[in-house]
Amino acid sequence: MILVLFILVLLLSSFVASKKDPLCTFANYPFMIAIKETFSFRHICAGTLVKPNTVLTLASCITERKDIPSFFTAVAGPSSIGRVGSQRLIAHQVIVHKRFDRSRAVNDVGLLILLSNFELSHLVGLVQVPEQFVQDDIGNINSKGVAIGWGPYHPGKRLTDDNRYLFNPKLNCVTLEILNETNCKRVRKGFGYEPNKICAWVPHGDEDMCQGDAGGPLLIDGIQYGIISVGYGCDSSRSPAFYERMDRVLDIFKQPYQVDVAYRSISEKNRSYEYMCFIQLTFSLDFNA
């Protein structure tokens, strides 16, 4: 009996360890934000910091309470409050993409504008987003990406009824294979295909993103080209998951106030970085029109 238990412990340890990454830390990904309910502090979604007072996430995560911004609290740095480097701020404005269609998960992107600025440090920083619309298929530019979040690791399951499974206190990272549109349509045959999405999976592995990861980033060469969005259960070995494509929804940043966003671009010809710059933009697009 003791031997059987020992073997089970070894199997479970190796199973869980497959999603651990020693480089998956706030020091390497300081832009990660945990979005919580302000009063219960229940985990809602992940997000990224695009400006000291602005969090990028899925519209699906925040649209139901967009008229009650204070419902949301953003946590930067180590997500356990009280740990060194942890900061939290309440939202005072919720912005959802004006063409967001929840039924089809189209233009599923939103922003939380916070009451004040996070104090930037080695554990709290800004993410970089695409500079402009990319004409090429993302899957033809780079075949690998990294997705990050706090979702639990339960392959093949969507555990939404038990809050214990909605949040993993440790940051998780997984390297995914990016598929081009042709291969995505072929592999997802029977599951449907959505344009303007990034299609990614771990075809022969047991890792994937899950509840709690939604709203987190898909990084390609260090740039947030995707937002963790629609998947098939918590196991993409059956079918690739969809990620909202950031270069298709950059107009979310066109607010009637000043937005400082870190932009970066990928060379479509040689797959190398072209340049990085900080651009100050002022727009007057009314998202309520």
- Cα–Cα distance between 236 and 214 in angstroms, integer? 14
User: Virtual CA dihedral for 15, 35, 217, 49, nearest 10 degrees?
Assistant: -140
- Cα–Cα distance between 177 and 180 in angstroms, integer? 10
- Cα–Cα distance between 84 and 224 in angstroms, integer? 26
Apex CA 176: angle with CA 171 and CA 177, to 5°? 175
Residue type at 237 in one-letter notation: S
The alpha-helical segments, DSSP class H, found in 75-157 are: 138-141
Asked whether 246 and 265 are in contact (CB, 8 A), the reply is no
Domains 32-126 and 129-248 share a fold: yes
| CA pseudo-torsion sign 222, 218, 89, 278 | positive
Helix (H) or strand (E) holding 187: helix 181-187
Tokens of 133: 């619309």
pLDDT of residue 15: 27
Give domain limits for the chain.
Answer: 32-126, 129-248
Q: Which residue has the tokens 């072209």?
A: 274
- SS3 letters for 58-96? CHHHHHHHCCCHHHEEEEECCCCCCCCCCEEEEEEEEEE
pLDDT of residue 212: 57
Side-chain half-sphere exposure of 155, counting CA atoms within 13 A: 15
What number of H helices and E strands is found in the chain?
4, 15
**Domain range 129-248, CATH architecture:** Beta Barrel (2.40)
Tokens of 248: 């298709």
Beta strands in the chain (DSSP E): 32-37, 43-51, 54-57, 72-76, 87-96, 110-114, 128-130, 144-149, 172-179, 197-201, 217-220, 223-228, 241-245, 258-266, 273-282
Per-residue pLDDT tens digits of the chain, which is 289 residues long: 444 333 322 222 222 233 456 688 999 999 999 999 999 999 899 999 999 999 999 999 999 999 999 999 999 998 655 566 689 999 999 999 989 988 877 899 999 999 999 999 999 999 999 988 888 888 888 889 999 988 665 544 444 444 444 566 788 898 999 998 888 888 777 666 777 788 888 876 555 455 558 899 999 999 999 999 865 445 555 677 889 999 999 999 885 544 456 655 444 333 332 323 333 333 333 333 3
How many residues in total does the chain contain? 289
pLDDT of residue 196: 79
pLDDT of residue 189: 73
Domain 32-126 has CATH 2.40.10.10: yes
Residue 79 CA, chain-centre distance (Å), reads 15
- The neighbour count for residue 143, using CB atoms within 10 Å, is 15
